[in-house]
């Protein structure tokens, strides 16, 4: 069987499948054949008698991924005995077995967490329990306690939904109240497994059952899951993980991609293998996806594409977001007429609130759609509140306009210090306000009942599964999927990157999000932005994202902030003669000297001469612009960014 298992593998896939190193990390970029390599490696090791299938624990992050993994293993005739599942499902199965052995009545699973949390916090804003629940989940994912939370929250620059002291109290009360009622949430399952594995006799038995570990999407693992994995391993090295640091887009939710980025440091003696090919996309799509990554990654070689040449990404601006959505609907129709099925096309946006106007325009053009990922707009608590308010405004829908506007203004986030959740809720309220305004524009005499019926009907259509429809979803929901044609809307400052992304790490994640969006496409990518976007009942002027300057550079005569050129210089330009007489160059060299002395490292470790030259020529004024400078990656920007920007803008 060995020969057939290795058939059709490229040189990097072959190396990953047959490597004898342990622990092993396989870096698998978009379209690189990740699942194929993972399943072939399990089968190859079984064929070499190096692995017993009944001792395999294959961990994924979704039930769908676990099902696909099992199907692929079935096709290789080695699935029987192999255990596949998510961290939570595997932990739950292990705990149930333990409880049954010891005659313990299992605790109940807490399935209404938000309502439970609401009883622990002050009454007031009805959306506060949701925010506090999200923060509690972040605390669990990061393996924090009430004692370690304050420092961790400050280091992560989080804006808690309650003052820190109150959040600490809620963390303790949440834990104590669950114990009192014999309730556990999903993260408790992992904690309980870790606790049980502290019993050496029990741990020895479990480790005898689980001897070979495989983890998919390792860039998405959080500290709590990592602790459970280490407890299962018990110091052993039979571990293979697969993932892509360039698709690490869940840092906001507690995921920690450093476990795969620094795999060889986390696991002593570990080895990393990079898959170097892309079988999904055209060379143009691959190049575009690679070019948008943070500078420390895009300086490396892009994957080798195997599809024939295609078109470069199309970049278009529209006068308004409504025209953008309508034009995109027409593009999907044209692609369909050329033979591309609806289901092979997708519209991707940065936020859930953007999907409403897109879906509305597609339905107006009679294009079948399926809105996927995240929650429906009308299911959001803040939107439910507005719908209740509208319902109470009487028969005429026009009578609801001012109350809705007043409610949105009263709950608008503060100009500074707003949490991500507060900003997202505000966007959702504005999306509903826009639907109301649009409905009245089409029918000034519309009734409240007709609007509510229309909104409910729209949501039902979003929920209905269709076999052949254009999919509309956020970048996050699109991860792991692929289509022939992808349309990315709203590539504007404030959305891509999102307005509340400020730190180097957050801005780097925004780049990875756009990379994920672009690399979903097999053949064609259309990126667009609107010169004017409607937020609620207000039209706001917009600017195209600076990320588009990479994919679609501005004309040579475009005026851009720079000391010596009319447009931003490329990495190649930055390698010109060093501007040693420039005052900014001298200031940066002096700063580098003192910083190197303080850090006790060679000066070039801080930044080298070419990077200083690029800084002087490109003159970044924000963290986002700083990350565009060759030689400045997220780590350097995080450590030295504020000081560099201070010197350049002094």
Tens digits of residue pLDDT in 548-583 = 988 988 765 444 443 433 333 333 333 345 677 778
User: To the nearest whole percent, how much of the chain has pLDDT over 90?
Assistant: 50
Are 451 and 441 in contact, with CB atoms under 8 Å apart? Answer: no
Q: Give, in order, the Cα–Cα distances in Å from 341 to each of 416, 425, 595.
A: 45, 34, 58
What pTM does this model have?
0.80
Instruction: Flag the least confident range among 36-50, 372-386, 515-529.
Output: 372-386
Asked if residue 399 and residue 462 are part of one domain, the reply reads: yes
Instruction: Using DSSP, state whether 92 is helix, strand or coil.
Output: helix
Contact present, 260 and 218 (Cβ < 8 Å):
yes
Report pLDDT for 156.
Answer: 86
Mark whether 249 and 114 lie in a shared domain. no
The helix or strand, by DSSP H or E, that contains position 273, with its residue range, turns out to be strand 271-274
Q: Is the pLDDT of residue 281 over 90?
A: yes
Q: Are residue 325 and residue 450 in the same domain, yes or no?
A: yes
> How many domains does the chain contain in total?
4
- Tell me what pLDDT residue 545 has: 93
d(CA 400, CA 448): 8
Average pLDDT value for residue range 239-259: 92
What's the start-to-end Cα distance of the chain, in Å? 67
The confidence band for 436, taking pLDDT boundaries of 50, 70 and 90, is confident
In a domain, 292, yes or no: no
Provide the pLDDT for residue 315: 95
> CATH number, domain at 643?
1.10.150.80
> How much is the pLDDT for 488?
98
Report residue 60: phi and psi, to 5°. -125, 180
Helix locations, 182-257, DSSP H:
186-196, 200-209, 223-233
In this predicted structure, the answer to whether residue 158 has a pLDDT above a threshold of 50 is yes
Q: Which long-range contacts (CB under 8 A, 24 or more apart) does 438-447 make?
A: 438/360, 439/397, 440/397, 440/398, 440/401, 444/398, 445/396, 446/397, 446/398, 447/395, 447/396, 447/397
Q: Tell me the average pLDDT across 261-290.
A: 94
Q: How far is Cα 529 from Cα 40, in angstroms, rounded to an integer?
A: 42
Average pLDDT on 492-508 reads 89
Query: Which domain-ending residue is among 140, 155, 181?
Result: 181
Question: What pLDDT shows up at residue 68?
Answer: 87
532 in the same domain as 443: yes
Q: Which residues does residue 495 pair with via DSSP β-bridges, in sequence order?
A: 498
Confidence category of residue 45, pLDDT binned at 50, 70, 90: very high
In a domain, 287, yes or no: no
- Evaluate whether residue 89 is within a structural domain: yes
Residue 164 pLDDT greater than 90, yes or no: yes
Average pLDDT over residues 304-325: 94
Lowest mean pLDDT among 10-14, 140-144, 300-304, 322-326: 300-304
pLDDT digit string (tens) for 316-355?
Answer: 999 999 999 999 999 999 999 999 999 999 999 999 889 9
Same-domain status, 431 and 413: yes
**Alpha carbon distance 489, 599 (integer Å):** 44
Question: Do both 370 and 259 map to the same domain?
Answer: no
Q: What is the pLDDT of residue 567?
A: 35
**β-bridge mates for residue 494, sequence order:** 498
**pLDDT per position as a tens digit, 389-415:** 998 888 888 889 888 988 888 888 876
* pLDDT of the residue at 375: 57
Question: What's residue 560's pLDDT?
Answer: 40
Q: Does residue 357 share a domain with residue 338?
A: yes
pLDDT band at 371 (very low <50, low <70, confident <90, very high): confident
**Of 147, 181, 215, which residue sits at a domain end?**
181
Q: Is residue 101 part of a domain?
A: no
Do 223 and 161 fall within a single domain? no
| Residue 171, domain member (yes or no) | yes
Tens digit of pLDDT for each residue in 192-201? 999 999 999 9
Per-residue model confidence as pLDDT tens digits over 87-99 = 999 999 899 899 9
Query: Once rounded to an integer, what is the mean pLDDT over residues 107-121?
Result: 89
**83 bridge partner residues:** 57
Whether 265 and 334 share a structural domain: no
Q: Are 387 and 503 contained in the same domain?
A: yes
Looking at per-residue pLDDT, the higher value among 452 and 420 belongs to 452
In this predicted structure, what is the pLDDT of residue 347? 97
The pLDDT score that the predictor gives to residue 423 is: 80
In a shared domain, residues 529 and 581? no
Q: Mean pLDDT, to the nearest integer, of 581-606?
A: 82
Does any domain span residue 55?
A: yes
What average pLDDT score do residues 111-117 get?
A: 88
Question: Is 617 in a helix, a strand, or coil?
Answer: helix
- Does 369 share its domain with 487? yes
When comparing pLDDT for 144 and 553, which is higher? 144
Residues contacting residue 500 through CB under 8 Å, at least 6 positions apart = 418, 420, 423, 506
Task: Report the pLDDT value the prediction gives residue 374, as an integer from 0 to 100.
Answer: 54
What range does the domain containing 432 cover?
A: 314-551
| Cα-to-chain-centroid distance, residue 299 | 22
Do the domain assignments include residue 102? no
């Amino acid at each position: 069987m060995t020969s057939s298992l290795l058939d059709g593998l490229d040189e990097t896939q072959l190396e990953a499948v047959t490597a004898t190193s342990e622990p092993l990390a396989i870096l698998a970029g978009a379209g690189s054949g990740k699942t194929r390599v993972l399943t072939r490696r399990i089968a190859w090791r079984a064929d070499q008698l190096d692995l017993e299938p009944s001792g395999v624990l294959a961990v994924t992050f979704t039930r769908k991924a676990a099902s696909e993994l099992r199907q692929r293993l079935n096709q290789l005739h080695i699935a029987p005995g192999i255990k596949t599942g998510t961290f939570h499902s595997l932990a739950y199965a292990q705990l149930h077995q333990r409880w049954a052995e010891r005659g313990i009545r299992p605790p109940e699973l807490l399935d209404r967490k938000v309502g439970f949390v609401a009883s622990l916090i002050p009454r007031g804003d009805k959306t506060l329990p949701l925010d506090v629940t999200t923060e509690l989940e972040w605390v669990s994912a990061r393996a924090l306690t009430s004692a370690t939370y304050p420092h961790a929250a400050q280091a992560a620059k989080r804006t808690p939904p309650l003052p820190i002291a109150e959040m600490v109290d809620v963390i303790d009360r949440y834990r104590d109240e669950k114990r009192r009622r014999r309730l556990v949430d999903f993260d408790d399952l992992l904690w309980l497994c870790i606790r049980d594995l502290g019993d050496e006799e029990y741990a020895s038995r479990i480790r005898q059952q689980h001897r070979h570990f495989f983890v998919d999407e390792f860039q998405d693992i959080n500290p709590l899951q990592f602790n459970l994995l280490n407890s299962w391993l018990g110091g052993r090295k039979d571990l293979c993980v697969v993932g892509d640091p360039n698709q690490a887009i869940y840092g906001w939710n507690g995921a920690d991609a450093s476990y795969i980025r620094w795999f060889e440091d986390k696991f002593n003696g570990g080895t990393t293998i990079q898959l170097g090919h892309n079988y999904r996309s055209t060379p143009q799509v691959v190049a575009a996806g690679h070019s948008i990554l943070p500078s420390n990654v895009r300086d490396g070689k892009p994957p080798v594409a195997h599809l024939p040449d295609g078109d470069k990404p199309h970049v278009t601006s529209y006068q308004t977001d409504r025209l953008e959505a309508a034009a995109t609907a027409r593009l999907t129709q044209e692609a369909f007429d050329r033979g591309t099925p609806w289901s092979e096309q997708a519209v991707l946006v940065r936020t859930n609130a953007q999907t409403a106007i897109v879906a509305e325009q597609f339905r107006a053009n009679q294009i079948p759609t399926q809105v996927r990922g995240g929650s429906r707009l009308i299911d959001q608590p803040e939107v439910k509140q507005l719908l209740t308010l509208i319902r109470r405004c009487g028969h005429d829908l026009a009578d609801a306009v001012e109350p809705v506007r007043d409610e949105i203004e009263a709950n608008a986030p503060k100009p500074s210090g707003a949490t991500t959740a507060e900003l997202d809720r505000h966007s959702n309220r504005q999306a509903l306000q826009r639907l109301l305004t649009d409905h009245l524009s089409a029918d000034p005499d519309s009734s409240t009942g007709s609007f509510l019926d229309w909104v409910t009907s729209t949501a039902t259509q979003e929920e209905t599964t269709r076999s052949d429809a254009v999919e509309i979803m956020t970048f996050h929901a699109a991860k792991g999927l692929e289509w022939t044609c992808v349309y990315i809307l709203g590539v504007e400052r404030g959305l891509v990157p999102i307005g509340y992304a400020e730190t180097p790490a957050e801005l780097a994640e925004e780049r990875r999000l756009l990379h994920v969006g672009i690399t979903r496409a097999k053949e064609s990518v259309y990126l667009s932005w609107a010169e004017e976007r409607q937020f609620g009942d207000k039209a706001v002027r917009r600017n195209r994202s600076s990320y588009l300057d990479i994919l679609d550079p501005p004309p040579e005569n475009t005026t851009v902030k720079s000391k010596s050129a009319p447009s931003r210089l490329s990495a190649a330009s930055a390698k010109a003669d060093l501007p040693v007489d420039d005052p900014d160059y001298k200031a940066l060299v002096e700063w580098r000297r003192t910083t190197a002395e303080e850090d006790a490292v060679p000066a070039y470790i801080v930044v080298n001469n070419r990077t200083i030259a690029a800084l002087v020529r490109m003159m970044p004024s924000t963290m986002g612009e700083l990350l565009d400078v060759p030689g400045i990656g997220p780590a350097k920007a995080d450590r030295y960014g504020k000081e560099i920007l201070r010197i350049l803008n002094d």
